[in-house]
Amino acid sequence: MGKREIERAEIVCGELKQTIPETRVELDYSNALELMVATVLSAQCTDVKVNEVTADLFAKYRRAEDYVGVDAGELEQDIRQTGFFRQKAKNIRATMEILIAEHGGEVPGDMEALVRLPGIGRKSANVILGNIFGVPGIVVDTHVGRVSQRLGLTKEKDPVKVEKALGALLPEAEWTAFGQRLVLHGRYVCKARKPLCDECSLIAHCPHFAREMS
């Protein structure tokens, strides 16, 4: 971490606040349990498809007990369209059993407890902590990893190292919103195969664009 990276991160943070004022995660949910299930379902699946599935799912399953009270095959069919449905159903049921046994059926609000749940890694845990419990954290998915490297904010590739590197560049109060803005910027502008550089407000601060044009 150097002065140049810190200054660039501050500029990027400020620019993204202007272009992406709203930072709500694009998964539909109304409580912690729903967001947790949605993050499990979002693995290898688009948020749009997850939202289509959970519109009916969340009407049927309202408590942790509901997920373990049905036959495993029924839950599999209910989430089939999200892909990898057998493993996801297995993870969801196992997670709900842990919540019932250890947390009174409620989603815990700390990283250590969350990453112990099947199907929940640091990325999903940061989504839950930031959006439900107000705990600062930077969600690092493929979009954040790609954008942060292109912008010269870090050379790290491992998600945990990327999270640590980005966290060192900005105050904790900025972490959650900054991470979500990077996700959205990478999803809609700084795309993997064909970034929309002509539409990017960060073009003047992008080492990747400068290299491509040289």
The active-site residue, picked from 123, 155, 158, 194, is 123
141 is catalytic: yes
Task: In whole angstroms, give the CA distance from residue 91 to residue 197.
Answer: 39
The active-site residue, picked from 78, 141, 158, 161, is 141
191 is catalytic: no
Residue type, 62: R
CA nearest neighbour of 157 among 140, 177, 133: 140
What are the CA-CA distances from residue 140 to residues 1, 97, 126, 157, 209 (Å)? Answer: 18, 27, 9, 10, 22
DSSP assignments along 51-114, one per residue:
HHHHHHHHHH--SHHHHHSS-HHHHHHHTGGGSSHHHHHHHHHHHHHHHHHHSTTS---SHHHH
DSSP 13: H
Catalytic residue set = 123, 141
